[in-house]
Structure 1
Amino acid sequence: MDNKTIRLILPQWQGGNRYVYAFGAKLLEWLAPAANCETLEIPLIPKTPEVIKDGIAFKEELLQHSGEIYRLLQSKSPDKIIVFGGDCSISLAPFTYLLEKYEGDAAVLWLDRHGDISVPGETTDYHAMVLASFLGEGDTDFSDFVKVKLDTEHLLHIGVNDPAKEFGRKIGNNYDFKNILPEEFAENSSSVIAAIKDMHIRKLIIHFDLDVLDLSSFRSQSSANPSVYFERLKLIRPGASFQSLSRLLNDLDKQFDIVGLSLAEYLPWDAMNLANLLAGLPLLKDKI
């Protein structure tokens, strides 16, 4: 029987506390190749004033939304899931579902410039905490949401380019996080493949935050906000190239069974600013 794959368009923005994430989700799905599998589009939740509870912005909305998505996935019972987001919190419900389905035989690859292991008190934005929830850390409501916790033996960070900063956060000393630097897979995929083979698993669940791409070549990411771009360009260490990431993921596909892929944090600043301009132009702004 063929594997059942579902595409999920998830314009969730509350975890990153930026409405532009929702704009990116829809555009990202449009840019992707057409698919024959079922596509589920999760309704956009309109922008609302920030409410912080237990040190987390939009906590109640995120938990409710994630619960609805998780139950939807349970009812559909897919074998593989592709997610177009949205901030990094888009991985919470789909990965929770997949970790249960493939318990003990799946590893999570976290392609991201950041570690996403923060806890309340370090930030109010949940997108920087989502991986901590999978480890059973941080806010208990979110960690309880994850039924099958992730063992760091089955976790590999890929592309964190400032590990001292990212793994030096509050829970960083509690774990031995493994990370492959961008330069370590720039020419070939051997370091990543070797690390996964040591895990003795078959299934891969991949979180792909687009900010893992080098800031100088990909400007549709958080740090490329036009108001801070040139300043950030001087401060942020080089990231991964388009070529190395494409090669890496295709190399992994040849040797392992990729059952989950979430694409997160696409912030198309230029497209959004142009859309705002068009919305205010004569004739275009007039309802006909």
Structure 2
Amino acid sequence: MPATFVVVPLWQGSVSSRAMSHADGAAAIRGDLPAAATLVVDVPVEAGESLGTGVHRYSTLRRVREATELVLDQVPDWALTIGGDCGASLAAVGHAARRGEGPLAVLWLDAHPDLNTPDSSPSGGFGGMALRAIAGEGADGLVLGEAERVAPERIVLGGARAFDDEERRYVDEHGVSTLTVEDLSDPTVVVAALEATGASRVFVHVDLDVLDPSALSGLSYPLPFGIDPPALVAVLREVVARFPLAGATIAGFAPGSPLAAEDDLPTILRLVAALTSAERAA
């Protein structure tokens, strides 16, 4: 079945100076999606309170997670979630884990590992904790439960170029598979890493900052030496051709202006097309 697009204009997981632009980015992408196949999560305007959790804007993040789960329950098959910041993937991965059969792997394509906890995070931003929460560790209410969480050995982290000490420790101690930007230039390497997890289906998370900043201006955390768009498209097409896609997220679009968004959208829509390419070939 074709994807349902679930737009989550979440910005509260980001601590960037451009955090609120993530909502604008989600809205810009939404404008080019088929309306009949698109659902939108109502994200509150207010920032929210940390409530002693160590997670900035925790109260709103928890509300958005619950609202996203309700919207995802309306999806007949699989969802392509459009963030917003990376926190949008928490509910999306949980939905994918609940809805399918067989072990699930997560391919996390991001300039940052997002493997901090509330105790280790230097910023308190949930976006930098999202993958750790998917693996089952984090603040109460912002972590996947036992039946949904993805074990570290079924995570493949691609394109990360900025590790905090705790993130590096977690990767080393838990055997998280990591792929460099150079590794991503060969899609067969990515497929082999996913096959090594033993998973029968895959969730793909794309934070747009995995791309080189020269390719996209609307990044809240740009880091040099990222992958170029054609190479990323090739990776996504190869992955969805090899594995059943349980779900996907595109996150991290924070355009500086409506005009800048227009310039970036063709690149983003090529990624959308790559993630949905298997359904067109079926």
| Range into which the TM-score falls when normalised by the shorter chain | 0.7 to 0.9
Which of 209, 212, 215 aligns to 1:214? It is 212
Structure 2 length normalisation: TM-score? 0.82
Which of 49, 52, 55 aligns to 2:50? It is 52
**Equivalents in 2 of 1:124, 1:223: separation in Å?**
15
**Is this contact kept in 2: 1:23–1:272, CA < 8 A?**
no
Q: Determine if the alignment matches structure 1 residue 262 to structure 2 residue 230.
A: no
Residue matched to 1:10: 8
How many residue pairs align between the two structures? 256
Which of 83, 86, 90 aligns to 1:85? It is 83
Residue matched to 1:116: 114
**Equivalents in 1 of 2:47, 2:164: separation in Å?**
34
User: Matches of residues 166-185 of structure 1 in structure 2 within 5 Å?
Assistant: 167-168=167-168, 171-185=170-184
Residue matched to 2:139: 139
Cα drift, residue 52 of structure 1: 2.3
* Structure 1 counterpart of 2:21, one-letter code: V
SS in 2 for 1:219: coil
Residue matched to 1:62: 61
Choose 1 or 2 for highest CA Rg.
Answer: 1
Rate the CA distance shift 1:168–1:199 in 2: closer, same or farther, 3 A. closer
**Equivalents in 2 of 1:147, 1:16: separation in Å?**
27
* Structure 1 counterpart of 2:250, one-letter code: L
Structure 1 length normalisation: TM-score? 0.80
**Is this contact kept in 1: 2:56–2:126, CA < 8 A?**
yes
**Equivalents in 1 of 2:6, 2:62: separation in Å?**
18
- For structure 1, the residue ranges without an aligned partner over 5 or more in a row are 225-235, 275-288
**Equivalents in 2 of 1:49, 1:96: separation in Å?**
24
Q: Determine if the alignment matches structure 1 residue 24 to structure 2 residue 25.
A: yes
* Structure 1 counterpart of 2:28, one-letter code: L
RMSD (Å) for aligned C-alpha atoms: 2.5
**Is this contact kept in 1: 2:111–2:161, CA < 8 A?**
yes
Cα drift, residue 8 of structure 1: 0.6
**Equivalents in 2 of 1:49, 1:189: separation in Å?**
39
- For structure 2, the residue ranges without an aligned partner over 5 or more in a row are 262-282
